[in-house]
Amino acid sequence: MQTVHDPYRTRLTAASQPIERQEPVIHGNKSGPLSQAQLQQFDEDGFLFLPDMLEPHALAALQRALAEVCHDQQLKHLPEVVTEPQGDAVRSVFRVHELHSTMEKMTSDPAFVAIAEQILGSQVYIHQSRINDKPGIVGKGFNWHSDFETWHAEDGMPKMRALSVSVLLTDNEPFNGPLMLIPGSHKQFYPTLGETPKANWQTSLKAQQVGVPSPEHIRQAYQHGGIKMPTGKAGSVLIFDCNVLHASAENLSPLPRRNLFFVYNSINNKMNKPYGAETPRPDYLAERTPYPVSGRRQRSVLAI
Ligand code: 6CS
Ligand code: FE
């Protein structure tokens, strides 16, 4: 556990007030694919939804890759594959950019890398990648959280200088458990109550208990920003800041909600020791050695 001054103390034993974000949302003023208006929206809301971004052949290839990864009998027993709390339906598969070349290609698409570099103001590397399969009927939800809170406490991410790209691989409808976000919530850090249990990730990835903001803080954030639920067609893309509060409900519909996520972190924001846990999580959840993604050798498959 870290002893140096930490502006984002969390996993506390007593309730604590929200803390003002210390870092900007847009780092520097690099040019890139996003317009000034899009950057401003990302800055204000903490996310940006880009409908119908993927070329159809690229979407089809990713959907095939997802099926291969989720149903591979050899991968099944890897710790990267997380099943739903009850039963053996696949909930998430981590480190997909190293498990499948199509996924790897997507994470190094020049347009995505350029967007990440534009927002984060430096070269970037993949901190984490995953599929959330959220199967129909049995797919459970994700409690309210800030990703940064977990990455700071359990992985040692020092600053808010990372973002997630979510590629919708099935249509995200209001009824199949799409992501909900609280616009503007990324400007505050909501410290959470409760010490991190040993090897927390073994249970937290099925159902998160620790690192969840208090109902009072969620209410406060909601009163300020409301809730947005960006739904849309497969092939759409959601980009969101590492500290925006988000959650999603269980999927009682028969239609799966399959999303690919990958997290770009600034190469200047390397992991330290965890700020709120005894030992860092395994590499398949949090890369500790930054290999910059260059994204310059291939043609982009994005319509931007
Ligand atoms: O623990 C994590 O790193 C992951 N858990 C959630 C619920 N969101 C972000 C991240 O993939
Ligand atoms: Fe999350």
205 CA to centre of ligand 1 in angstroms = 7
pLDDT beyond 80 at 42 = yes
199 CA to centre of ligand 1 in angstroms = 14
Average pLDDT (240-268) is: 98
Task: Tell me what pLDDT residue 237 has.
Answer: 98
Task: Tell me what pLDDT residue 295 has.
Answer: 67
Binding-site residues, ligand 1, Cβ < 6 A: 128, 130, 142, 145, 147, 150, 208, 285
94 CA to centre of ligand 1 in angstroms = 10
Beta strands in 98-185 (DSSP E): 124-132, 142-145, 162-168, 179-181
Q: Whole-angstrom Cα distance, residue 59 to residue 303?
A: 12
Q: Which listed ligand is nearest to 92 at the C-alpha?
A: 1
Report the percentage of the chain scoring pLDDT > 70: 98
Nearest CA to ligand 1 atom 10: 147
Average pLDDT (140-147) is: 97
- The amino acid sitting at 162 is A
242 CA to centre of ligand 2 in angstroms = 8
The CA-based angle 185-166-298, given to 5 degrees, is 130
- Residues near 93 by Cβ (< 8 Å), separated by ≥ 6? 69, 70, 75, 80, 81, 82, 99, 130, 131, 133
Nearest CA to ligand 1 atom 8: 147
